[in-house]
Amino acid sequence: MDSREVGDLLDECLGAAKAAGRQSTGVSEADRLNYCSCRDLLCAELASLLQEAMDMKWPFAPEKWQYKQSVSATDKTNLNDLISKHLSQLLDLLKASIRAEEAHCALAVVFLVDRYLYWTDDSSRLLKIAKLLHRRYPETPIAPQLVIRQARLYFNSGKLQKAEYILSSLINNSGTTGRWIYHSESDRVLVQAVSVQVRGTILQKLGLWLEAAELIWASLVGYYSLPQPDKKGIGTSLGILANILVSMNNEDFHAFRTNPDIDFVSPPDISPFISWFL
């Protein structure tokens, strides 16, 4: 699909979400049948992913390689490739779900397509749909990935205070996002690690190098504490930390290096990296 076609489908979904907020009549039989038909047309892999998203199996849509020490050729298929291939189908299902008042399914579809549409610069409209659905169906869970995505969009558009508010709320409330249910404590830790990482980039943007470095380090500790360390998160945080350290003045660098709350020996994989700077 080209960007115009994606935009047109998103506009149709947005229009359906706005109409859903106004309508008081029940769902028509035609809308119900169309919803069922759209779900039945999904391939087995997508149908499984959709069900897992609805069951809140993970707070972030997972990549096969992200938590593996050794990556094989079969693991290198990116989830975005699958989403890209079936994007039209998924957006049709999103529209059908909204019209059939299947908010749980609709928000699960938003969750699945979120990362792909972020990279194609279509997140703004997608999150407007999510907000309208949440307003209409406040009992329906919203994935932490979508909450953090909104913070990222605020950050990218210069609305740092709004981004900070969202992230601080996630951090202070141990990753709690409304009705979302965590299936393991490690999922909650992952959400907090990502929230801390993004908050660290905000402080980096503001030139608060020491505070930013401390937050990015905290995110690294979180990623490494997971049963299967998050390679993607670790790589991102290490890159951010490197940029922060080379930007620090001597006073901030000394304060960071001598911080008694930071153990530069653990996690062990970071030691060679940090010793280069220290």
Where is mean pLDDT largest: 45-49, 59-63, 262-266?
45-49
Q: Cα(219)–Cα(269) distance, rounded to whole angstroms?
A: 14
Read off the pLDDT band of 24 (50, 70, 90).
low
Mean pLDDT confidence for 259-270: 72
Establish how many alpha carbons lie within 13 A of residue 136's alpha carbon, considering only the half-sphere containing its beta carbon.
23
Which DSSP letter does residue 265 get? T
pLDDT at position 80 is 84
pLDDT score of 76 more than 70: no
| Domain segments of the chain as ranges | 1-141, 143-278
Mean pLDDT confidence for 13-32: 87
The token pair that represents 226 in the structure block:
């997971």
Chain segment 221-246, per-residue pLDDT in tens: 999 999 998 989 999 999 999 999 99
Torsion of Cα atoms, 172 then 103 then 136 then 145, to 10°? 30
pLDDT score of 255 more than 70: yes
The token pair that represents 93 in the structure block:
């299902």
pLDDT score of 90 more than 90: yes
Chain segment 165-177, per-residue pLDDT in tens: 999 999 988 877 7
pLDDT score of 32 more than 90: yes
pLDDT score of 69 more than 60: no
pLDDT score of 33 more than 80: yes
Q: Which residues contact 137 (CB under 8 A, 6 or more apart)?
A: 103
Q: Cα(107)–Cα(266) distance, rounded to whole angstroms?
A: 39
pLDDT at position 21 is 75
pLDDT at position 278 is 56
Read off the pLDDT band of 264 (50, 70, 90).
confident
pLDDT at position 263 is 78
Chain segment 38-53, per-residue pLDDT in tens: 999 999 999 999 999 9
* Burial annotation 214-228 (CB, 10 A radius, 16+ → b, else e): bbbbbbbbbbbebee
pLDDT score of 193 more than 50: yes
Read off the pLDDT band of 70 (50, 70, 90).
very low
- What crossing angle do the helices spanning 103-119 and 123-136 adopt, rounded to 10°? 160
SS3 226: coil
